[in-house]
Amino acid sequence: MQQQEVVEAEGHLIDSHIMETIFDKVVEYNGRFEVEQFRIGRTNSEPSYLRLKVEAPGEDAMRHLLQELLGLGCSPVDSGDAALRPVERDCCAPEDFYSTTNHRTYVRLGQKWIEVENQRMDAMVVAAGGRAWCRRLRDLKQGDRIVVGLRGIRVVPESKERDRLAFAFMSNGISSERQVETAVRQTAALVRQAIEQKLKVVVVAGPVVVHTGGVQGLAALIRGGWVQAVLAGNALGVHDIEAALFGTSLGVRLADGRQEEHGHRNHMRAINAIYHAGGVKQAVESGRLTSGILYECVKAGTPFVLAGSLRDDGPLPDTITDMNAAQDAYAEQLRGAGLVLCLGSMLHSIATGNMLPSWVKIACVDINPAVATKVSDRGTGQAVGVVADVGLFLDLLSKALA
């Protein structure tokens, strides 16, 4: 039996291609639509408005369609307050829980639209005392009241940059043909913009930063106050310290690219040296560690998080080996971020993207275009890819900001 709903959406629907995506989604679910009302925004600040009658073949099809449309900013018109149900056991949500997107979200409570705090994807919305916030499944506690169903929820997708001539590369997808200098210049402008707005610039870095000679560039950015946090795996820390202590990375001399005799053990010697010192901070304070990325972090008071993994050697004493604790430490440093620079680390970039709301800009720099594509495909639509050598990019960026 055909089901009918009237939904509405507001925003920069044409610029951001949201309207055509809404229409395509209805057709994809074997539905039909009729535009009841459409108003075009006539200025940069004025949003467009769409009211749409949709039909779907049956209750299940309509429920799935509404779930998809909600993520695109379409909410049912006759929506009352959001439905809340209690959590009966820690870490166990009611079956019909609402799962969040990374877009700005509002829920209707007591006839008022309340903005959801700590926005992130794949979370539940907990409501209490006239407030609502995102909470991960593993953090749910018995008695929490969470939003269920699809009513009383409004999602606002990020619209395309209105200053798209100034920052055109932020909306041009991923291309290996983009001039590195252009991407660097525009990234530098985004860094300045974030700092001016008192937002954090966070760097997510892989060990390729060390292999490609990017240490000096990243160290200069930290020293200059352009970076407010560094998030990485154990490998970045180990190779950074190996390079600082022995001039090698994985046993290869950074000066000439040749294999150092017995150099294969240098990364273990580096880890051992930090254990002897008692940690990275103590190694800096004692004068054992005198250069590198982590050295600059300690000297500048810039927080760094090293997240462990199954394949780590050592790991360093500063590395967080509890995955849940590492996730929490990442999330803490991402609070208040305005720009995240992902440098040569696919897994850490995807993980970070999943923790961020959609209004935080991400620039993903990697020599492999597939990395930036994967970051975008995992739901982080605000990511832009710069296909370039990470070391070269950091060198140019540090000079552009010097």
DSSP letters, 156-194, are: EPPPPPTTTTTTGGGGS-EETTS-HHHHHHHHHHHHHHH
The per-residue pLDDT for range 206-263, each reduced to its tens digit, is 999 999 999 999 999 999 999 999 999 999 999 999 999 999 887 787 777 777 777 7
User: In DSSP terms, which residues pair with 154 in a beta bridge?
Assistant: 106
Contact 72, 50 (CB under 8 A): no
Reduced to 3 states (helix: H, G, I; strand: E, B; else coil), residue 124 is strand
Q: How do strand 229-233 and strand 200-205 relate by DSSP bridges?
A: parallel
* Token representation of residue 69: 């449309």
**Count of C-beta atoms within a 10 Å radius of residue 25:** 18
The per-residue pLDDT for range 318-336, each reduced to its tens digit, is 999 999 999 999 999 999 9
Nearest to 213 by CA among 392, 13, 3: 392
Task: Tell me how far apart the alpha carbons of residues 212 and 92 are, in angstroms, rounded to a whole number.
Answer: 45
Task: Specify the pLDDT at position 165.
Answer: 44
Task: Tell me how far apart the alpha carbons of residues 396 and 211 are, in angstroms, rounded to a whole number.
Answer: 17
Q: Could you give the angle at which helices 323-334 and 346-355 cross, rounded to 10 degrees?
A: 60
DSSP letters, 305-362, are: EEE--TT-SS--TT-B--HHHHHHHHHHHHTTEEEEEEES-HHHHHHHHHHS-TTSEE
Stretches where the chain sits below pLDDT 50 are 162-167
Task: Tell me how far apart the alpha carbons of residues 179 and 215 are, in angstroms, rounded to a whole number.
Answer: 22
Amino acid, single-letter form, for residue 59: E
Task: Specify the pLDDT at position 59.
Answer: 87
Task: Specify the pLDDT at position 12.
Answer: 84
Query: What is the model's pTM?
Result: 0.87
How deeply is 179 buried, as exposed, middle or buried, from its count of CB atoms within 10 A (0-12, 13-18, 19+)? exposed
